[in-house]
Amino acid sequence: MAHDALVVLLVALVVCGAVPVLVGLVQYLLVPVHAVRNHLRDASPYLPRVVVIVPAWNEGAVLAPSLERLMRLEYPPDRLRVFVVDDASTDDTPQVVQAKAAEHPGRIVHLRRALGGQGKAHTLNHGIEQALADDWMQALLIMDADVIYRPDALRKMTRHLADERVGAVTAYIREGSARPGSVARFIGYEYVTAQAAARRAQNVLGAMACLAGGAQLHSRTNLESIGGRVDTTTLAEDTFTTFLTQLDGREVVFEPAAVVAAEEPDSVRALWKQRVRWARGNVQITRRFSDVWFRRPWPLRRGGQRLGSWTFGLIWFSVYMLPVAIVLATAGLVGLHLLDSAVALTAFRALWWLGVVAYVYITVTTLLLDRETAGRAWFQAFTFPGLLALVVMTAAWVPGLWEERVPALFGLRMTDQGRDAWQLALYAWPLVAMLVAPVVRAVDGVRGVKVLATPLLYVIGYGPVLCAITLDAYVKQWRGASAQWDKTEKTGRVVG
* Cβ atoms 419, 403 nearer than 8 A: yes
Nearest to 257, CA basis, from 71, 26, 34 = 34
Residue-wise pLDDT for 331-378, tens only, equals 999 999 999 999 999 999 999 999 999 999 999 999 999 999 999 999
Query: At 185, which amino acid appears?
Result: R
* Cβ atoms 215, 50 nearer than 8 A: no
Question: According to the CATH classification, is domain 38-281 in 3.40.50.620?
Answer: no
Could you tell me which residues are beta bridge partners of residue 166? 251
Contacts of residue 274, defined as CB under 8 A and 6 or more positions apart, other chains included, come to 265, 488
Query: At 83, which amino acid appears?
Result: F
CATH 3.90.550.10 boundaries in the chain: 38-281
Q: Where are the beta strands (DSSP E) in 203-242?
A: 215-219
* Cβ atoms 143, 84 nearer than 8 A: no
Distance between CA atoms of 179 and 197, rounded to whole angstroms?
A: 24
**What letters, b where the CB count within 10 A reaches 16 and e where it falls short, cover 366-393?**
bbebbeebbebbeebbebbbbebbbebb
Distance between CA atoms of 176 and 286, rounded to whole angstroms?
A: 31
Per-residue pLDDT, 98: 92
Largest CA distance in the chain: 82
Separation of CA 122 from chain center: 23
Per-residue pLDDT, 302: 40
* Cβ atoms 112, 225 nearer than 8 A: no
Those residues of the chain that have pLDDT short of 50 are 298-304
Per-residue pLDDT, 493: 62
pTM above 0.75? yes
* H or E element at residue 307: none
Residue 162 is given by DSSP the state G
Per-residue pLDDT, 479: 87
- Kindly report the backbone phi and psi dihedral angles of residue 118, in degrees, each rounded to the nearest multiple of 5, phi listed first: -90, -10
Distance between CA atoms of 213 and 274, rounded to whole angstroms?
A: 13
